Structure formats: C-alpha cells, structure tokens
Structure 1
Amino acid sequence: MSEADWPGFAPAKVNLTLRVTGRRADGYHLLDSLVVFAGVGDRVSVRPSAHLSLEITGPFGHGLAMEVDNLVLRAARRLAEATGVPAQGAITLEKHLPISSGIGGGSADAAAALRVLARFWDVALTEAETRVLALGLGADVPACLASRSVRMQGIGETLSPVPPLPAMGIVLVNPGIPVSTPAIFRARAGTAFSDADAVPGAGWVGLAEIVTALALSGNDLEAPAVALAPVIGTVLAALRARPGCLLARMSGSGATCFGLFADVDAAQPLDVPGWWSWGGGLYEPPASAL
C-alpha cells in the first residue's frame, strides 16, 4: 500500500488474540486484544459538494445500500459538529471487506472518514478529543484511527503500543455468513472471564517465538461462534490444513478467520466457492502519517 493511499485506506483489523476480561455495570464487556492490520481494506474519498452525501461502491457495497445512517456519515457529522465546520462533501466508500465479519470494516471506514475529512476541511482536534470522538462511533474506531499494531483494552479506549512485528504472511477467510456479536456474547454467558494476556512476552524475538506465545493465548469468542455457526470451524480446519500455516484463529467475533505464515509468498488465499479470501502481508501506515 503506497503512501498516496493514506489517509483514505481503511485496512482490515485482525485480533490475533482476544480475551474477555470482565463486564461493566452498563453491560459493555471489557476486552484485552492484540490487534494488527492487514494489507487489504476499504477506501474512502471525498470531493467538493455543497451537501454531505455518501456513495457506496465496490464488491461488498450492495450490503450497505439500504443503510440510511452509515457509520461514515455519522463520523462526518460528528467531526463537523466538533470542529464547527459545515458538513459538506461528496464521500465515496469503496467497499472491499465483507460486512459484519469481525475485521472492523465499519470501524475502519469511520476512522478513514475522520482522517480524510480532517484534511479536506482543514480542521484539527487534539489527540484526546479525537479519541473521544472516535470511541463515540464504536469501540474499534480508536484503534483503527492509527491502523498500527496495538494492544487494545477496556472497551477499546485504552491503547498501548507494542514492539514492531516481524514480517509475516496472513490469509483472511470469510465463509460468506454474517454473525451476530450480541448473540455470541450471550452464548458465552456464564463462562468465566479470562486474565489479561493479550500481548505475550515482554518483546518480540522472532516469528516462531511469537506464534508459540500466541498459541498459549486465544480468542474467547471463537468457541461460542463455532457453536452458533459451525462453518467457522470448517474455515479454521481448512486454514490449518494449508502447508506452512503456523497458526489459525478467528478474528473478533467472526466469522472471518486468519492464518499466519512465515512469509507473504506462502500466504495464498483459499479458493472455495462462496468464501471470500485474501492473502498478503501486514499493513503499517507511512511514518509521515504520525
């Protein structure tokens, strides 16, 4: 991904680990997750217009065609309100990620919209103000704003940097079914909460050591998701059967799963009718994006 694609690129968010560590009095679950971003995603762009509008294109655009209050529009309106500028611009969302798939597509789109419109409107918020605005749009939006590997805790508001990851390949697979996040949390009702362990070890030594450490952690939502949608188990089995797959796991609340490989060349997508799949490397935005 070239620097020219930033800030409008909305990369897929992948939860390498995800622990449910508690539940607040208001019902929100507390999480501890090691988050990375893949080199595939949606794209957000804007051109001058006297009115605020949104056009959705791309291979998965039809899934949002009837959505009257898209998260991108909400992000635009909140940024305009927070900065006191008119909410103007013809926004295009090019949708390449499956809908409701556990890889933060909507959150990444909202984050990209905030970045694009901040430049387009020539406005700026402090980091703290931006975090508050982003969290109001969704728990994953703050992490997606920077699109860098990060440890995400709480309901998404606590972000901690992690050491740079070594080069690796990653394959994403979605079986073409949406899953309900509330239903998955209900399915794990009564299950004990996990200890916080999203970032294994004090630092990264190499890919083999990372994979070994990751194998000792996990995704607490994977078992209930497989129980509700057994095809997720089929996807995981297919990934684990691929030569060179070092680790396979579900991302977020599913149904997208990922496989880790030693290098990008080994990370070849699965060719299964009805499944969406992508293979490549991890994404890090250009240094100039900081």
Structure 2
Amino acid sequence: MEPPVLTETAHAKLNLALHVRARRADGYHELESLFAFCADGDGLSGTLREDGEIALRVEGPFADGLPTDERNLVMRAAHALQAATGGHLGADLLLEKRLPVASGIGGGSADAAAALRLLVRLWDVRPMEIDFPAIASALGADVPACLGSATIFGSGVGDRLETIDLDLAETPVLLVNPLIACPTGPVFGGWDGIDRGALDPLAWARGRNDLTASAMALVPEIEDVLAVLRAQLPQVARMSGSGATCFAVFASEAERDAAADRIIADHPDWWVMTSLLR
C-alpha cells in the first residue's frame, strides 16, 4: 500500500500596509504591518519515512535554481521540528513553487510555515508539547505570521503579532509581478529613514508601503506595475513587502478578472495571479 500523502498550501502573504518607523542599532527595522493571506500560493506535499531521513524535491514554474538542502527554508523547518520533538521519523517532501522568488509575498517564509503545519500532522506532533512560536521565529521574521496565515497586525520586526477584528475573507485581489527579483536587504537599506507615522490597521486602506520608493530605485518596473494596476480603478493598489509584487483590491471578482485579462493581454511577460483573501 502506498503511504498517504498530506498536502498544505503555502499561502501568499500580502502586506496590505507596511510602515517603517525606525532603523535599529542591530540593523533591523521597526515595522508596523497588516498581514493578509491569499487562498492561493505554493503547494507542499509529504509522505512519511520511517528511517528519519528528510528529502525535498522542488518542481513548478519557479523551481529553477532553488536549493533542496539546508539553504531551503522548508528543509530548515523540517529539521528544526524534528530536533525539537526528538523524533525519529522522516519525510519525502515535494514543493510546487508557483510564486515568484524574492517577490515580497513571503514565498520562503510561507513554505517554511507550511512545512511545519504539514509535518505536525504527518508526525502526529502535539503542538502544545513544543515551543512552536520559537521554532517559527528562528526561521525568519515573517514565519510566525505565515504559520496561521490569517489577517494579523505585526509590529517590531514583524514578530509581535496582534489579532485584529477585521474580516477580509473572500476579498478579491489581483497580484502582479514584473518577474524581476527584488532583494530584501538592499530595499530596506535604501529606506530614507523618515518616520511617516503609525499604522492604524483598521484603516489600512489609508496606509502606505514605506519601502516603495526604495524598491522602485532598484526595480523601476514596479512603478509601471502600480500605474497599470491603478488604471484598473481598484479600491486599493500597493506594493507588497519589499517588492516587486504589487496587488490591487477589487469590489468584485468580475472587476478583478476583467482587470487581470487586460493586464495579461497588454503585458504577457508579467506574472499575474487572481485570488481571494482568506
């Protein structure tokens, strides 16, 4: 009998707003962000191994060049959970890489979070018996938010999370990326250091992304993507994270889909994804 296959979606992360408040002495930045997650994202599947070995394969449209060793956050997450539980079970994992790499929508962090969720089920781990938040935090600043993949307000370096009474489920969104990698470190390094004020997560539509100018300096095509999105007359159009993915929020799926069709026709070299917020 073939072993059962478990699956998880590594939900694409959106920073609906991202305010940078200060640059810290340790090189990190004080942030305020409203995280939201799409129904769609990368796919992860896994089967149990009894020998304790963990193996990873990567397939999909954005698989080229991605490592399958400890440089991949999925492997780091798997080994961290295995060490924390003292377990002797392993897994064969398959990552279907559907989201662009270095694109500001939490791909690696979402993949790591999906690996933790999948392996907890595969290995029958009781989350209360381990320090699950500590494992997630050690993997990266966005991993704790990606773990629940629900709308949440983050502050600090993104590690202080606060549940918000804001129901965005089923909100139609359109994601567009010019397929140019936008490295996180240089984008943060190019922030102008001006604190433009706090983020009210309940009024996120009036917020901003303080990294947009810095990202545009590195990838000027982001300005073109935003201009095209805003021409579709969405409710909000903004860059996510450190770029280069931008998103637009629409009142209806029909409006979103019509906008997607126009953009695909005019810019066939761009990556476009329609989805709904969770």
Q: TM-score when scaled to structure 2?
A: 0.89
Correspondence for 1:193 among 182, 195, 203: 195
Asked if the contact 2:48–2:89 (Cα under 8 Å) also holds between the matched residues in 1, the reply is: no
Question: Do residues 94 (structure 1) and 96 (structure 2) align?
Answer: yes
Asked if the contact 1:169–1:282 (Cα under 8 Å) also holds between the matched residues in 2, the reply is: yes
1:32-58 C-alpha deviation (Å, 9 max, x unpaired) = 001111122011111123321001011
Partner of 1:286: none
Asked if the contact 1:167–1:263 (Cα under 8 Å) also holds between the matched residues in 2, the reply is: no
**Cα–Cα, structure 1 residues 23 and 48, in superposed 2: closer, same or farther, change >3 Å?**
same
**Cα–Cα, structure 1 residues 149 and 128, in superposed 2: closer, same or farther, change >3 Å?**
farther
- For the residues of structure 2 that align with 1:173 and 1:276, how far apart are their CA atoms? 6
Correspondence for 2:222 among 232, 242, 256: 232
CA offset at residue 264 of structure 1?
1.8
- For the residues of structure 1 that align with 2:201 and 2:177, how far apart are their CA atoms? 25
Structure 1 residue ranges without an equivalent (≥5): 202-212, 284-290
1:183-240 C-alpha deviation (Å, 9 max, x unpaired) = 1112124x22243214034xxxxxxxxxxx51x3100001111122110000001101
Partner of 2:273: 278
Partner of 2:185: 182
Question: Do residues 133 (structure 1) and 122 (structure 2) align?
Answer: no
Partner of 1:171: 174
- For the residues of structure 1 that align with 2:163 and 2:85, how far apart are their CA atoms? 28
- For the residues of structure 1 that align with 2:128 and 2:157, how far apart are their CA atoms? 21
Question: Do residues 263 (structure 1) and 277 (structure 2) align?
Answer: no
Question: Do residues 254 (structure 1) and 243 (structure 2) align?
Answer: yes
CA offset at residue 128 of structure 1?
8.1
**Cα–Cα, structure 1 residues 87 and 253, in superposed 2: closer, same or farther, change >3 Å?**
farther
Asked if the contact 1:102–1:251 (Cα under 8 Å) also holds between the matched residues in 2, the reply is: yes
1:1-290 map, 5 Å: 8-49=8-49, 50=51, 51-65=53-67, 69-86=71-88, 88-126=90-128, 129-163=131-165, 164-165=167-168, 167-189=170-192, 191-201=193-203, 214=205, 216-242=206-232, 244-268=233-257, 269=260, 270-271=263-264, 272-283=267-278
Q: TM-score when scaled to structure 1?
A: 0.86
**Cα–Cα, structure 1 residues 63 and 236, in superposed 2: closer, same or farther, change >3 Å?**
farther
Partner of 1:207: none
Aligned residues: CA RMSD: 2.0
SS at match of 2:131: helix
Asked if the contact 2:32–2:153 (Cα under 8 Å) also holds between the matched residues in 1, the reply is: yes
- For the residues of structure 2 that align with 1:92 and 1:47, how far apart are their CA atoms? 9
The aligned amino acid for 2:101 is I
- For the residues of structure 2 that align with 1:230 and 1:16, how far apart are their CA atoms? 21
1:238-277 C-alpha deviation (Å, 9 max, x unpaired) = 10111x4121110000000001100122212230222110
Which has the larger displacement, 180-189 or 151-160? 180-189
Asked if the contact 1:46–1:116 (Cα under 8 Å) also holds between the matched residues in 2, the reply is: yes
CA offset at residue 11 of structure 1?
0.7
- How many residue pairs get aligned? The number is 265
Asked if the contact 2:84–2:130 (Cα under 8 Å) also holds between the matched residues in 1, the reply is: no
The aligned amino acid for 1:220 is D
CA offset at residue 62 of structure 1?
1.4
